[in-house]
């Protein structure tokens, strides 16, 4: 990683280590008249590339994953703040009281690694817990709503 990125930055436990950047796991292709580069995992988005808004001007100062993800999801590098989804749910509400106000899709990387973002990145922070995210789990796992009992809990109560 170029020193111009790392000079004067706290690098967590990587002080003195050779830092390498990890290349994208999937290819990007140009779509639409605008030539927007979109990951090949999202071919439908490519088909509507000229009809959607893609923001490419956002930047942050954090170069470590955890504070960078915290900034991306909450607007600050300080942990414990509500996520964007929580703020939107809090401000606009939900059309259905029986479903979560917003959901988070977690994934496993191409090489099998789990998504490195902890669930606190989508937390409701100091807002009431009802504004917390619902998490969709893949593959083949049941979707659990916050507070919904698991099969293990149901068996134990029977």
- Per-residue pLDDT at 132: 84
Neighbouring-strand partners of residue 55: none
**How is residue 105 annotated by DSSP?**
E
Which stretches of the chain score pLDDT less than 70? 10-16, 106-119, 136-158
- Per-residue pLDDT at 152: 47
Residue 37 DSSP SS3: strand
Report long-range pairs for 143-146 (Cβ below 8 Å, ≥24 apart).
145/100, 146/100
Would you give the distance in Å from CA 51 to the centre of its chain? Answer: 23
- Per-residue pLDDT at 151: 46
Nearest Cα residue to 85 out of 40, 54, 125 = 125
Nearest Cα residue to 145 out of 106, 100, 105, 102 = 100
Q: Tokens 């100091």, residue?
A: 126
- Per-residue pLDDT at 110: 61
């Amino acid at each position: 990683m170029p020193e111009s990125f790392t000079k004067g930055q706290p690098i967590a436990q990587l002080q003195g280590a050779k830092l390498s950047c990890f290349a994208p796991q999937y290819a990007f292709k140009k779509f639409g008249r605008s030539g927007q580069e979109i990951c090949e995992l999202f071919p439908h988005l490519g088909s509507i590339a000229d009809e959607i808004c893609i923001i490419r001007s956002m930047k942050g100062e954090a170069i470590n994953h955890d504070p960078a993800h915290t900034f991306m999801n909450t607007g600050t590098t300080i942990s414990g703040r509500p996520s964007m989804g929580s703020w939107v749910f809090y401000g606009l509400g939900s059309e259905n009281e029986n479903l979560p106000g917003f959901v988070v899709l977690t994934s496993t990387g191409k090489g099998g690694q789990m998504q490195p973002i902890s669930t606190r990145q989508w937390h409701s922070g100091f807002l009431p817990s009802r504004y917390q995210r619902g998490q969709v789990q893949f593959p083949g796992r049941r979707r659990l709503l916050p507070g919904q009992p698991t099969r293990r809990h149901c068996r134990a109560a029977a």
